[in-house]
Structures are given as structure tokens and as C-alpha cells.
Amino acid sequence: MKVAEETSMTKEFELFDKMSEHEQVVFCNDPSTGLRAIIAIHNTTLGPALGGCRMQPYNSMDEALEDVLRLSKGMTYKCAAADVDFGGGKAVIIGDPKTDKSPELFRAFGQFVNSLGGRFYTGTDMGTSMDDFIHAMKETNFINGLPEAYGGGGDSSIPTAAGVLYGIKATNRMLFGNDELGGHKYAIQGLGKVGFKVACGLLEAGAHIYVTDINPDNLLAIEEKAATTTGSVMVIAKEDIYSQEADIFVPCAFGGIINENTIAQFKVKAIVGAANNQLLNDTHGKMLQEKGILYAPDYIVNSGGLIQVADELYGINHERVLAKTKHIYDSILEVYQEAKSSGRTTEESANQMCEKRIADRSKRNSFYTAPAKPKWSIRNLS
Ligand code: NAD
């Protein structure tokens, strides 16, 4: 009996140990719609938690929990880097996006989000779409990333691509002493919503770009675009993009592309792109540094979309979004300079910059002030 009690105690604390860095984890269960979801709030020092909702057929509770804890922590850093007044959170719905979605399920999810009273804002992520959240928003105001017709900011790839171009400009300043995009060579992986816009920006500036994509339509479209600019384009086989000689590799397809295999192939001076989680793990940041390749931390470079989502809650203003997105240039330069003087990797320097921003705010929050305005809510559904 005693052994059984001890085991159950240990298990209980195991869960708290797992969430030791997090403020709150909410398990949401609605048998009538089949909703099983986990909401994790990592840190709200900078403001209410903000983070998308992922839907995936996880194999176990542990897998879903680990994912939501990891992703919500990442959002704390991303919000701090983007200097928006939000903290880090994330939600996961356990289920197959192809077969398990229903309007009722997303309304039930919206009710759980609402029950947090504004401590957590959410919207689309892998496996969920804007349409799903049109159902969820009937139950709560705390939804963002909606279509423009519903008060949202619309296509977030526009500010994301603008942010990548600012990241490239900052990198060129570091490498060549000026911000010019033109006159350099870039190897771009992925010409989707973000990559295509980045490629167009580079072509318009007169750059030479090497591109690859598994979708031939995108390759055709960029060749047509190049013909109207002073830049030039060359299509590369997808497996050759890592060894392409260029000034900057611009990953805009998927994560984990900086690993032992690709680092051995890179012939670039820097890596700046939109893809999430580019470093397969932390050791690869160190390996890039040792090879003399400058790495612009992905979560700063690709934060334009987050800046738009955060702005939406003040009442969307696209000019303000682009003005804030411009700060990505300063943040990337700050990180490069800190890393250069401290000997840290750029990823380590970026994390430190974020932790300092949070620590500074937490000092200021140590005494009571009137509630901040605006109240992070623009929709009145009554
Ligand atoms: P997307 O799906 O529109 O584009 C991805 C492109 O990569 C597609 O054109 C696809 O055909 C191509 N691709 C897939 N596999 C490939 C391969 N093996 N080789 C070459 N090309 C390949 O996605 P997106 O919205 O442009 O986002 C690109 C990346 O940026 C993703 O990692 C995403 O998570 C990240 N990101 C996007 C945003 C945003 O606002 N859209 C914001 C932050 C981060």
C-alpha cells in the first residue's frame, strides 16, 4: 500500500516537474465533441500568452504534452524578440485534422480558451485553418490570425517575408558593410507563401538567386518574375541547394535543415530564412560558428507574422505592422554584435537578449500599476 502511494505521488510530481518552467497547463476534455486538447502557458511577464493551436494525431499524452510545453516556451522567446506585449503559450488538439474536425469541436475549444479569461490568445498553426477559428471565435474574443473580413490581419506571409528581407539586410551589413540586397547571390529553398515574396524582393533589388522547390509551378512563376527585373534566377535540384555556392542560404521550406549533413555541404557566408526550428539541435549552432557561417536566429527573422497577429489585437494597421517589422533589422544586428564580442553563438546571444527583456520587465512589474491599455480585445460579440 505504502509503495503504491509513493508511486502515485512520484507520478503526480513528475507532471509538475515537466512543467516546472511553465505557469499553467490546462487539459481540456469535451466527450460530446471528442475534443481533447492541452493549453500550455509558459510565461506571461510581458503580457497575455499568445500562440497558435496545432492539431495532430499524437501517439500518446506524453508526446502531446512535450510538444505543447516546448512550443509554448518557444513563443515566450519569440514574443520577447519581437518586442510585442505578449507572453508565450500554445495549444494542441489531439486528433487527425483530416477526419476529426467539426464546427462543434472548435466551439468547445473556444469555450476552454474563453475560460482562461484572456490569459491565452490563439489561432491557426499546423493542422488548423482560419475557418476552424471562425467557429471558435463564436465562443471567445481571444482568437487572432483571422481573415480580414473577421477583423483579422489577413495573410501573415507579407510581414514575414518583409522581416526576412530586413534580416538579410542586417546580415549584409555585417558581411559587406552595407545593407544592399542587390549584387549578391542567394540560395533559396522553398518558394511558397514566404519564400516567393522574399525571392521577388531580392530579384527586384538586382540580386542573383538560385532556387529550388518541389512544386514546378513555383519555379515557373519565379522565372517569369525574374524576366521583369534586373535580377536573375537559376533553378537548382532540391538536393543540390545545400552545396550551392552563394553568399546567403535562405531556408523557407521546413525545419531541421541545419544539421551535420548539411553543414558539411554549405558553401555560404550566412544563413537567413523563414523556416521554423532550422537548427536540428543546439550543437549545430556551434558547428556553424566554428565553420565561420553567420546564422540569423530563425525566431527573430521570421517574427513578422507574429508582429501582425499581435497588432491585430489593437485593431489591425498594416503600416504599423511593417514599421515594427523593420526592427528585425536592429535585433539581428544586436545579436550579431553581442555574439561577436562575447564569443557566444548567435542563437545563445538571441536567447540571452530575450531573457534580459523578460527580466527587465519583471522588475518593473514588481509594483502595482493601473491595467495596461489596450485590453487586448477588439471584438465585441454581444
Ligand atoms: P508554404 O507551405 O507556403 O511554402 C513552403 C514551400 O516549400 C512550398 O512551396 C513547398 O513546395 C516547398 N518545399 C517543400 N519541401 C521542399 C523541399 N524538399 N525542397 C524545396 N522546397 C520544398 O509555407 P510558408 O508559409 O511559405 O512558410 C515557409 C516556412 O516559414 C515554414 O517553415 C513556416 O513554418 C515558416 N514560417 C512561416 C510564416 C508565415 O507567415 N507563413 C511565419 C513564420 C514562419
pLDDT value for 25:
97
In angstroms, rounded to a whole number, what is the distance separating the alpha carbons of residues 195 and 172? 18
CA–centroid distance, 214 to ligand 1, in Å, is 11
Model pLDDT, residue 382: 36
Angle at 361 between CA 358 and CA 364, to 5 degrees: 155
Which residues lie closer than 8 Å to 140 by C-beta, 6 or more apart?
A: 110, 111, 113, 114
Pinpoint the alpha helices (H) of the chain.
Answer: 2-18, 61-82, 103-115, 130-136, 157-176, 193-204, 216-226, 260-265, 282-290, 298-301, 304-312, 318-325, 327-342, 346-364
Residues 6+ apart with CB under 8 A from 367: none
Convert the pLDDT of each residue in 74-109 to its tens digit.
999 999 999 999 999 999 999 999 999 999 999 999
Q: What percent of the chain has pLDDT over 90?
A: 83
- Nearest-5° Cα angle at 169, 168 to 172: 85
Confidence of residue 381 (pLDDT cuts 50, 70, 90): very low
pLDDT value for 380: 44
Bridge-partner residues for 38, per DSSP?
Answer: 27, 92
pLDDT in tens, 23-63: 999 999 999 999 999 999 999 999 999 999 999 999 999 99
Burial class (CB in 10 A: 0-12, 13-18, 19+), 291: exposed
Q: Are strands 248-251 and 232-235 parallel, antiparallel or unpaired?
A: unpaired
Q: Which residues, 6 or more positions from 233, have their beta carbon under 8 angstroms from its beta carbon?
A: 199, 203, 208, 209, 210, 211, 222, 223, 225, 226
Cβ–ligand 1 distance for 156 under 6 Å, the answer: yes
Q: Which atom of ligand 1 is nearest to the CA of 305?
A: 40
> Is residue 370's pLDDT more than 50?
yes
Given this model, what pLDDT does residue 10 score? 56
Q: Which of 42, 38, 44, 40 is nearest to 22 (CA)?
A: 42
Q: Which atom of ligand 1 is nearest to the CA of 194?
A: 26
Give, using CA atoms, the residue closest to atom 12 of ligand 1.
Answer: 190
- pLDDT of 361 reads 87
Q: What average pLDDT does the structure give for the chain?
A: 92
From atom 1 of ligand 1, which residue's Cα is the shortest distance away? 192
Q: What CA–CA distance (Å, rounded) separates 340 from 334?
A: 10
For the Cβ of 302 lying below 6 angstroms from any atom of ligand 1, the answer is yes
Backbone angles phi, psi at 341, to 5 degrees: -80, -30
Of the two residues 54 and 372, the one the predictor is more confident about is 54
C-beta of 199 in contact with ligand 1 (< 6 A): no
Question: What SS3 class is residue 39?
Answer: strand
Does the Cβ of 212 fall within 6 Å of ligand 1? yes
Q: Give the closest residue to 54 by CA, choosing from 94, 104, 110.
A: 94
| Pairing outcome for strands 53-56 and 35-43 | unpaired
- Tell me the percentage of the chain whose pLDDT exceeds 70: 92
- Residue 87 — φ and ψ, nearest 5°? -105, -165
What atom of ligand 1 comes closest to residue 157's alpha carbon?
40
Is the model more confident about 146 or about 187? Answer: 187
Q: What is the largest CA-CA distance in the chain?
A: 79
Q: In this structure, what DSSP letter does residue 153 have?
A: -
The pLDDT tens digits of the residues spanning 178-205 come to 999 999 999 999 999 999 999 999 999 9
Would the CB of 214 count as within 6 Å of ligand 1?
yes
pLDDT value of residue 151: 84
Confidence band for 313, pLDDT divided at 50, 70 and 90: confident
Q: How many A from CA of 282 to the centre of ligand 1?
A: 22
Residue 352: Cβ within 10 Å count: 15
- Cα 283 to averaged position of ligand 1 atoms, centre (Å): 24
Give pLDDT tens digits for 164-173: 999 999 999 9
> What is the C-alpha separation between 246 and 240, in angstroms, rounded?
12
Containing 121, the helix (H) or strand (E) segment is strand 120-121
State the amino acid at position 231 in one-letter form.
G
3-state DSSP helix/strand/coil percent for the chain, to nearest 5? 50, 15, 35
**Annotated active-site positions, please?**
90
Cell numbers at 89, concatenated: 503559450
Q: How confident is the model at residue 314 (pLDDT cuts 50, 70, 90)?
A: confident
Mutate to test the pocket of ligand 1, among 252, 259, 272, 312 (most ligand atoms within 8 A of CB): 252
pLDDT of residue 372: 55
For residue 224, pLDDT over 50 is answered with: yes
Rounded to the nearest angstrom, the distance between the alpha carbon of 275 and the centre of ligand 1 is 7
Answer yes or no: is pLDDT of 127 > 70. Answer: yes
1 CA to centre of ligand 1 in angstroms: 54
